[in-house]
Structure 1
Amino acid sequence: ITHRDLNAGISVTHAWLNCCSWFLNLLYHLTANDKTWDFGNKADPRYKKLMKAKENVQDIFAAVLGRRIDAADGTGHTGTSLTGNLAKRFFAGECRVLLYKIVKEPHLGHVKKLHLHFDVILRILSSKNHSIDMDKFGNLCTTTYVDVLTHFKWVDLTPTVHKVLAHATELISNNMCMGIGHLSEEGLEACHKIIRRFRVSWTLQTSDQANLKDLLKKLWLRSDPLFYSYRRVVRCPKCGLKGHRRNCPIYDEKLNQSESDIMVEDIFVDLE
């Protein structure tokens, strides 16, 4: 990875997705007691063993997540059920307490530590408007990377996982020591559904060129500040402010903070 690649940045949402997919793959192999990273072909007995382990992992997490993670998308679209919000819930503490049902000693302690560290690293990477202690964050990324290479030598690191663990520190340093959550592609991904709906129902159908021109006109209208001001503003039922509904900062009690919450606040400089 070169400096030119780093300047392109890390896609925040895809960092959550790819790290979650990599971690799930690690759990599948540990459950099947298979220390070969690939799944093999369908005729290979290893493939059946790994698929059975995958179903077991999916069933365990479905009790908390409410759906089978990393399964075929049941909405009729291509891809899997893994989404950005689901990946964030997977790395939360409610799923960490279920790891003992999947992984046995001596790997359980290392897997729990990795799960916690990935949650903290990705939350800091996707943060907004918070100054970050680069020494603490760099040590956390380095420690996590060394733990993977030490305890799971048979694991292959995907380019995204490597970039998060090895180059996130440099990327945040180049961003004035702040997270890159404001560069998230979630808004662009959300436009895909809108574009499909517009092209099918609310644009000219005489030709592809006319369809795309009409689509661009409607997207420009949709982004107009005057039209945008008419949108319904969702406010918190507790404090009346906008921008959040579930986690109200005014009513957030430090006694209910998780281990990852404490680690994140310790790395944020402006929260000390």
Structure 2
Amino acid sequence: MLLRSSEDDPTVINLVISTTDMARKDLATLKNITDKDGITYKVEHEIHDTMKELKLKKKWSGLGGADCIICEAKSIDWMNAEKIKLGFPITRTANSSIELYEILIFEGEGTIIKKPKDYDHRKGLTNQPLTSSDQHSITILHSYVNVLGWFLKVIYRCHASYECWIEKKTIEGEPIRRAKSVVRDMLKETTGLTLDQVAGANSRGGTTNDGNQDRRFFKSESHDFVVACVAEKYKGTINCLHKNLSVILRVLSSTKEVNCEKLRDITTETSLLIAEKLPWVSLNHTIHVVLHHSVELIQINNNWSIGSLSEEALESNNKFVRRYLEQFSRKMNPTDQLKDAMSRLIERSNPEILFHQRKFKNSPIL
């Protein structure tokens, strides 16, 4: 929601973080609510600070060099079958990062000293943590988008029998570039999906991999067409991988109670399948969190899935944020601009204003 030119502005960042942290602490101490008739109610509540993208989470947590901002495992461990069986429990908290920062600052006499191969000691901490909020969350929509992007990379390589994750820009990478074109055309013809392409001229950048297409890709109707895109020796692996990822993503995006033991079985099975059958691939942060942390995050949520915490509603608000920033805010400095945009959003969410807005919108005169 911040202006791109203001993402690194310390004034804007401090304004947002200090305001949200203060509001979170105030709400956490709130035990009683009195209504307009003077009746007092005792309340119990939990605050979930979830709707942030990975780039923002890394900046706010100070873990710019961490492979995972939820656990302390290295990315190489994510493909280790023995460690997959043991699991990757959530070990990072905001307080532990703050404590580690104070230790590193003391050792470095006011600065964080970065050395090669010091991950076990520094744990990927590169800057001072800016918030007291734990970064324990999965963004549902971005999980679909990023898992699809990763899965398409796997399909391209399985189509060309190219067992190397790095796409070389030399002649050696030509099979991957040809496979991309062939696979995208096959999926377009059989499923109608236009995937992994630059968005049209009327868009605001990005690719054609959006939430609707991602969900269609992982539906059972697309399964056979996806498997048909790869070489024969990979069909069994892709068949199982597509089914499992489809189930896992749908469970995460639901709002129902989950059998965590069964979900753990399928996530572990999928992780081992990748490690044993596709040892040349590399897992990104999103698929690591989906496979290795989703069960624990659901357990933290009292065994209820986390679809209700999806960022889709927030994403749909982007057009209003963009309009308010561009047309209805002061431009003297980023802080005033952000304050004006937030004021407009607060007014827009006022129930009384919404009531009159719907009333006039449905009026036959309009």
Identical columns (%):
31
- The aligned residue for residue 242 of structure 1 is none
Sort the Cα spacing of 1:65 and 1:213 in 2 relative to 1 into closer, same or farther, 3 A. farther
1:10 to 138, 144, 159: 138
- Matched position secondary structure for 1:78: coil
- The aligned residue for residue 210 of structure 2 is 83
Please, which moves more after superposition, 70-79 or 59-68?
59-68
Take 1:3 and 1:153, find their aligned partners in 2: how far apart are those partners?
Answer: 26
Q: Following TM superposition, by how much is the alpha carbon of 1:61 offset from its aligned partner in structure 2, in angstroms?
A: 1.7
Take 2:281 and 2:338, find their aligned partners in 1: how far apart are those partners?
Answer: 45
The one-letter amino acid paired with 2:162 is: D
Q: Following TM superposition, by how much is the alpha carbon of 1:4 offset from its aligned partner in structure 2, in angstroms?
A: 3.0
- Matched position secondary structure for 1:106: helix
- Matched position secondary structure for 1:155: coil
- The aligned residue for residue 285 of structure 2 is 159
Asked if the contact 1:99–1:108 (Cα under 8 Å) also holds between the matched residues in 2, the reply is no
The one-letter amino acid paired with 1:3 is: T
Sort the Cα spacing of 1:101 and 1:174 in 2 relative to 1 into closer, same or farther, 3 A. same
Query: Which consecutive residues of structure 1, in runs of 5 or more, have no partner in the other structure?
Result: 233-272
The answer on 1:19 being equivalent to 2:147 is yes
Asked if the contact 1:65–1:86 (Cα under 8 Å) also holds between the matched residues in 2, the reply is no
Take 1:220 and 1:174, find their aligned partners in 2: how far apart are those partners?
Answer: 30
The answer on 1:150 being equivalent to 2:238 is no
The one-letter amino acid paired with 2:194 is: R
Q: Following TM superposition, by how much is the alpha carbon of 1:193 offset from its aligned partner in structure 2, in angstroms?
A: 1.8
Post-superposition Cα deviations, 1:126-148, rounded to whole Å, max 9, x if no partner, equal 111x1111111111111111111
- Matched position secondary structure for 2:237: helix
Per the normalisation by structure 2, the TM-score is 0.58
Q: Following TM superposition, by how much is the alpha carbon of 1:103 offset from its aligned partner in structure 2, in angstroms?
A: 1.3
Take 1:197 and 1:59, find their aligned partners in 2: how far apart are those partners?
Answer: 36
The answer on 1:178 being equivalent to 2:304 is yes
- The aligned residue for residue 95 of structure 1 is 222
The answer on 1:28 being equivalent to 2:153 is no
Take 1:213 and 1:158, find their aligned partners in 2: how far apart are those partners?
Answer: 35
Sort the Cα spacing of 1:175 and 1:107 in 2 relative to 1 into closer, same or farther, 3 A. same
The one-letter amino acid paired with 1:165 is: L
Asked if the contact 2:193–2:213 (Cα under 8 Å) also holds between the matched residues in 1, the reply is no
Q: Following TM superposition, by how much is the alpha carbon of 1:77 offset from its aligned partner in structure 2, in angstroms?
A: 1.8
Q: Following TM superposition, by how much is the alpha carbon of 1:63 offset from its aligned partner in structure 2, in angstroms?
A: 3.0
Per the normalisation by structure 1, the TM-score is 0.77
- The aligned residue for residue 62 of structure 2 is none
Asked if the contact 2:330–2:336 (Cα under 8 Å) also holds between the matched residues in 1, the reply is yes
Post-superposition Cα deviations, 1:36-89, rounded to whole Å, max 9, x if no partner, equal 001112xx1133221111111111222355452111111342221111221111
Q: Following TM superposition, by how much is the alpha carbon of 1:7 offset from its aligned partner in structure 2, in angstroms?
A: 5.3
- The aligned residue for residue 120 of structure 2 is none
Asked if the contact 1:64–1:94 (Cα under 8 Å) also holds between the matched residues in 2, the reply is no
Q: What value does the CA root-mean-square deviation take over the aligned residues?
A: 2.1
Q: Following TM superposition, by how much is the alpha carbon of 1:213 offset from its aligned partner in structure 2, in angstroms?
A: 3.7
Q: Following TM superposition, by how much is the alpha carbon of 1:223 offset from its aligned partner in structure 2, in angstroms?
A: 0.8
Sort the Cα spacing of 1:70 and 1:146 in 2 relative to 1 into closer, same or farther, 3 A. same
Q: Following TM superposition, by how much is the alpha carbon of 1:220 offset from its aligned partner in structure 2, in angstroms?
A: 1.3
- The aligned residue for residue 241 of structure 2 is 114
Sort the Cα spacing of 1:212 and 1:136 in 2 relative to 1 into closer, same or farther, 3 A. closer
The one-letter amino acid paired with 1:82 is: N
Post-superposition Cα deviations, 1:180-223, rounded to whole Å, max 9, x if no partner, equal 1111111222222221123334x145634654443222211111
The answer on 1:124 being equivalent to 2:124 is no
- Matched position secondary structure for 1:10: coil
Larger-Rg structure: 2
The answer on 1:223 being equivalent to 2:344 is no
The answer on 1:61 being equivalent to 2:187 is yes
Asked if the contact 2:199–2:206 (Cα under 8 Å) also holds between the matched residues in 1, the reply is yes
Q: Following TM superposition, by how much is the alpha carbon of 1:101 offset from its aligned partner in structure 2, in angstroms?
A: 3.0
**With CA pairs under 8 Å and 6+ residues apart, which has the higher RCO, 1 or 2?**
1
Post-superposition Cα deviations, 1:100-130, rounded to whole Å, max 9, x if no partner, equal 43113221121011101101001111111x1
Query: Which consecutive residues of structure 2, in runs of 5 or more, have no partner in the other structure?
Result: 1-70, 72-89, 94-133, 360-366
Take 1:39 and 1:18, find their aligned partners in 2: how far apart are those partners?
Answer: 18
Q: Following TM superposition, by how much is the alpha carbon of 1:13 offset from its aligned partner in structure 2, in angstroms?
A: 1.2
Take 1:20 and 1:217, find their aligned partners in 2: how far apart are those partners?
Answer: 36
Sort the Cα spacing of 1:100 and 1:142 in 2 relative to 1 into closer, same or farther, 3 A. closer
